[in-house]
């Protein structure tokens, strides 16, 4: 049965897995790369739990999907511990180095200097992923860090094959990669985009991972690796210091929790905007009795809820260790009622009628995976180096591709930066501060069902997770959920961005008559990785977004 479904789905270009015959608990991994998914499944089959598998998958994605996440980046790991049914968020987000300052990307006239926050070592925050992996392994895992990092070390030593997708990403960032000799040596072939099938080997990264495996976080943040990271960044004009690395700490945070009908929704807290925005949108939909509406009215209401939640994102959200974020208010049902009060079902609300700031979609690159083990431990993790291949800068001898997550700060609070991004004071640059994120690893759970989900996609991450929650609640299968067409509104620009198939011709006409400006993106976006468990039948299903090249395995 299993095999038949696999063959059928692969013929559709989908990766998904259902084992309808099995009544016993199953484990499942869905990730953006087959080698990473297999690494997670192998660790589970070696007796590891979901947290061991999460470390293995994170580290392997760092090797085989270098354009999405990495040891030079960061992320959020949302964990569910089956033994006491608790949830915890591990915040391994990058922080601004001590020499960072509010105006570091501005010229003397106060204008944003193009690309400074995107390419090269000045764009890199202090990475959080190595510390997060060491912490998750030590505190929650059953196997040793050496055992769980072994698949990633092997992948780095033996190499992986360049795919069409890799080519697209490398082509997009070719010039920036060429500017870093160490990056070009690893990720290009003769300084050009590699041919399909070319093998990318990363011996320096393998050695960095070995140092992490043997010494824990100190293997990365202190000693030889830290020395090479700092020398490499400073030589190329960066501002990292040994103290920045030695001082890096992960944060353990209480997740954001909401209730949508019978489903408990658990997602990530600041410095991600995801959990708060999701709960705000769901509360608005519930207040306006979303499920009783016809299809076009539902879509109109979803757009209006997105508009309002993203206005709040721009206005209020930043690192809650530095600025006061009104979490309880923004996630309350009473506040959603207040936000929903001016939603007119016969016409859209122009965004410029809502007080606030300008924000723009970004072409971020990021990754997500979802895992459950047979005991019911779960992990939803979204990890990033920001733009494809991050800063495109590798400090020589480390194999570590640095992030360009500093671009997630507001380069100039209140004014658009070179990429049209605008934010509030809450997200301005300060030393040691975490930049605002949209990454939204999420669990939803009712008495009957649970789902583990998330996706990359920059500012569209949150609305993709919203669509998937609504589709799971609606009873759609894992494959249907990851395949469903998506649309997005983020307050400003005041337009609905959509994938082909999101609206029927009739729905599009109605939405336009209500004043919505519809923009067909003419291409797909996102890479949702989803696991669903039917708690009554104990059947587990999982699916990896057909827009990507990932793989889901249930067994």
Q: Which of 305, 364, 367, 544 binds ligand GLY (CB under 6 A)?
A: 364
- Which CB sits closer to ligand GLY, 75 or 151? 75
**For ligand GLY, the closer CB: 390 or 395:** 390
At its nearest, how many Å lie between ligand GLY and the CB of residue 364?
A: 4
Distance between CA atoms of residues 501 and 517, nearest Å: 16
Minimum CB distance to ligand GLY smaller for 317 or for 533: 317
Stretch that binds ligand GLY, among 3-11, 423-431, 437-445, 511-519 (CB under 6 A): 437-445
- Give the residue with the Cβ less far from ligand GLY, 151 or 456: 456
Beta strands 199-200 and 251-253 are unpaired
Which of the ranges 228-236, 435-443, 463-471, 483-491 carries the binding residues for ligand GLY, by CB under 6 A?
435-443
Which residues does the annotation mark as catalytic? Answer: 366
Q: Which of 18, 405, 428, 549 binds ligand GLY (CB under 6 A)?
A: 405
Interaction of residue 366 with ligand GLY, rule CB under 6 A? yes
Closest distance to ligand GLY from the beta carbon of 140 (Å): 23
Distance CA 286, CA 290 (A): 6
Collapse the DSSP code of 225 into the 3-class scheme (helix H, G, I; strand E, B; otherwise coil) and give the result: helix
| H or E element that contains 16 | strand 15-18
Name the 3-class secondary structure at 152: helix
- CA separation for the pair 445, 58 (Å, rounded): 24
Q: Least distance to ligand GLY from the beta carbon of 406, Å?
A: 10
- The single-letter DSSP state of residue 393 is -
* Binding segment (CB under 6 A) for ligand GLY, from list 36-44, 113-121, 432-440, 498-506: 432-440
CB nearer to ligand GLY: pick between 442 and 483: 442
Which sign does the torsion angle of CA 222, 223, 226, 231 carry?
Answer: positive
How far apart CA 248 and CA 432 sit, in angstroms, is 9
Whole-angstrom Cα distance, residue 448 to residue 533?
A: 9
Residue with the shortest CB distance to ligand GLY: 437
Pattern 19-58, binding to ligand GLY, x per CB under 6 A?
----------------------------------------
Strands 518-520 and 496-498, by their bridges, are parallel
Nearer to ligand GLY, 93 or 516 (CB): 93
Of the two residues 5 and 418, which places its CB atom closer to ligand GLY in the complex? 418
Distance CA 397, CA 252 (A): 31
Quick one: which segment of 145-153, 189-197, 388-396, 436-444 binds ligand GLY (CB under 6 A)? 436-444
Locate tokens 């070592």: which residue? Answer: 121
The token pair at 71 is 């040891």
Considering only the stretches 12-20, 346-354, 431-439, 518-526, report the one whose residues sit in contact with ligand GLY under the rule CB under 6 A.
431-439
CA 512 to CA 514: how far, in whole Å?
A: 5
471 binds ligand GLY, rule: CB under 6 A = no
Distance (Å, rounded) from C-alpha 186 to C-alpha 177? 10
State the nearest-atom distance from the C-beta of 381 to ligand GLY, in Å: 13
Residues forming beta bridges with residue 106, ordered by sequence position = 112
Task: Compute the C-alpha angle 144/146/147, nearest 5°.
Answer: 70
Binding range to ligand GLY, per CB under 6 A, among 335-343, 434-442, 447-455, 475-483: 434-442
- Rounded to whole angstroms, how far apart are CA atoms 338 and 192? 55
Q: Which is nearer to ligand GLY, 37 or 364 (CB)?
A: 364
Least Cβ distance, residue 408 to ligand GLY (angstroms): 5
- Residue 384 as a binder of ligand GLY (CB under 6 A): the answer is yes
**83 exposed, middle or buried (CB, 10 Å; 0-12, 13-18, 19+)?**
exposed
Q: Considering the complex, what minimum distance in angstroms separates the CB of residue 5 from ligand GLY?
A: 33
**310: helix, strand or coil:** helix
> Residue 98 CB, nearest distance to ligand GLY (Å)?
21
Question: Binding to ligand GLY by residue 455, rule CB under 6 A?
Answer: no
| Residue 437 found at the interface with ligand GLY (CB under 6 A) | yes
Our finding on whether 117 is near ligand GLY (CB under 6 A) is: no
Q: How far is the CB of 404 from ligand GLY (least distance, A)?
A: 9
| Shortest distance in whole angstroms from residue 466 CB to ligand GLY | 15
Q: Which is nearer to ligand GLY, 65 or 405 (CB)?
A: 405
Decide: 371 and 452 in contact? Cβ < 8 Å. yes
Q: Which of 343, 439, 478, 482 binds ligand GLY (CB under 6 A)?
A: 439
Question: Is the N-terminal amide bond of 157 cis, ω within 30° of 0?
Answer: no
The residue from 438, 468, 527, 540 that contacts ligand GLY (CB under 6 A) is 438
404 binds ligand GLY (CB under 6 A): no
How far is the C-alpha of 405 from the C-alpha of 359, rounded, in Å? 17
| 408 counts as binding ligand GLY under rule CB under 6 A | yes
Min CB(392)–ligand GLY separation in Å: 15
Q: How far apart are CA 402 and CA 388, in angstroms?
A: 11
Q: Which of 207, 386, 468, 497 touches ligand GLY by CB under 6 A?
A: 386
Which of positions 135-194 make contact with ligand GLY (CB under 6 A)?
none
Asked whether position 94 contacts ligand GLY by CB under 6 A, the answer is no
Look at residue 506 and give its three-state secondary structure: helix
Q: What is the footprint of ligand GLY within residues 234-293 (CB under 6 A)?
A: none
Alpha helices in 253-343 (DSSP H): 274-287, 295-316, 327-330, 333-340
DSSP code per residue over 96-149: --TT--TTTTB-TTSPBPTTTTTSSGGGPPBP-HHHHHHHHHHHH-SS-HHHHH
Tell me which H or E stretch contains 205: helix 203-215
Nearer to ligand GLY, 384 or 541 (CB): 384
Count of residues binding ligand GLY (CB under 6 A)? 9
Nearer to ligand GLY, 366 or 468 (CB): 366
Tokens of 259: 């209730």
List beta partners, residue 28.
372, 554
Interacting residues toward ligand GLY by CB under 6 A: 364, 366, 384, 386, 405, 408, 437-439
């Amino acid at each position: 049965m299993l095999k038949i479904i696999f063959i059928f789905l692969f013929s559709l270009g989908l990766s998904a897995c259902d084992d309808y015959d099995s009544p016993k608990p199953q484990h499942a991994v869905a990730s953006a790369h087959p080698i990473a998914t297999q690494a997670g499944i192998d660790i589970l089959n070696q007796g590891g739990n979901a947290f061991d598998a999460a470390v293995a998958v994170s580290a392997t994605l760092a090797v085989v999907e270098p354009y999405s996440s990495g040891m030079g980046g960061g992320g959020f790991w949302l964990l569910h511990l089956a033994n006491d049914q608790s949830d915890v968020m591990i915040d391994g987000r990058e922080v601004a180095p001590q020499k960072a300052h509010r105006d570091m990307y501005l010229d003397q006239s106060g204008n944003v200097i193009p690309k400074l926050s995107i390419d090269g070592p000045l764009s890199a925050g202090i990475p959080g992923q190595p510390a997060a992996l060491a912490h998750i392994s030590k505190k929650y895992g059953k196997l040793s860090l050496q055992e769980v990092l072994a698949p990633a070390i092997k992948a780095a030593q033996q190499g992986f094959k360049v795919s069409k997708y890799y080519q697209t990403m490398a082509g997009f960032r070719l010039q920036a990669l060429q500017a870093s000799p160490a990056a070009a040596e690893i990720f290009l072939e003769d300084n050009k985009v590699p041919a399909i099938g070319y093998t990318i080997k990363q011996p320096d990264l393998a050695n960095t991972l070995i140092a992490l495996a043997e010494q824990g976080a100190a293997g990365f943040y202190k000693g030889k690796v830290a020395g090479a990271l700092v020398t490499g960044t400073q030589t190329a004009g960066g501002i990292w210091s040994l103290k920045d690395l030695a001082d890096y700490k992960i944060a353990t945070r209480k997740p954001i929790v909401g209730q949508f009908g019978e489903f408990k929704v658990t997602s990530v807290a600041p410095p991600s905007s995801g959990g708060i925005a999701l709960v705000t949108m769901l509360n608005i939909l519930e207040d306006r009795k979303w499920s009783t509406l016809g299809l076009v009215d539902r879509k109109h209401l979803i757009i209006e809820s997105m508009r309002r939640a993203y206005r709040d994102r721009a206005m209020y959200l930043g690192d809650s260790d530095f600025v006061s974020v009104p979490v309880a208010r923004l996630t309350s049902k009473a506040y959603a009622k207040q936000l929903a009060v001016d939603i007119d079902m016969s016409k859209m609300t122009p965004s410029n009628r809502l007080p606030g700031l300008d924000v723009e979609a970004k072409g971020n690159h990021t990754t997500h995976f979802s895992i459950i083990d047979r005991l019911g431990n779960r992990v939803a993790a979204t990890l990033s180096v920001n733009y494809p291949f991050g800063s495109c800068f590798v400090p020589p001898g480390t194999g570590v591709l640095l992030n360009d997550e500093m671009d997630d700060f507001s380069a100039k609070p209140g004014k658009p930066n070179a990429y049209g991004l605008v934010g509030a004071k809450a997200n301005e640059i300060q030393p040691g501060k975490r930049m605002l994120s949209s990454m939204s690893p999420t669990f939803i759970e009712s008495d009957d069902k649970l789902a583990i989900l998330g996706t990359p996609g920059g500012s569209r991450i949150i609305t993709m997770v919203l669509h998937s929650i609504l589709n799971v609640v609606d009873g759609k299968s894992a494959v249907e959920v990851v395949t469903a067409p998506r649309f997005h509104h983020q307050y400003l620009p005041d337009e609905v961005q959509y994938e082909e198939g999101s609206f029927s011709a009739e729905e599009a006409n109605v939405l336009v008559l209500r004043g919505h400006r519809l923009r067909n993106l003419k291409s797909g976006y996102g890479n949702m990785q989803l696991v669903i468990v039917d708690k009554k039948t104990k059947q587990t299903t999982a699916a990896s977004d057909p827009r990507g090249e990932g793989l889901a395995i249930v067994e």
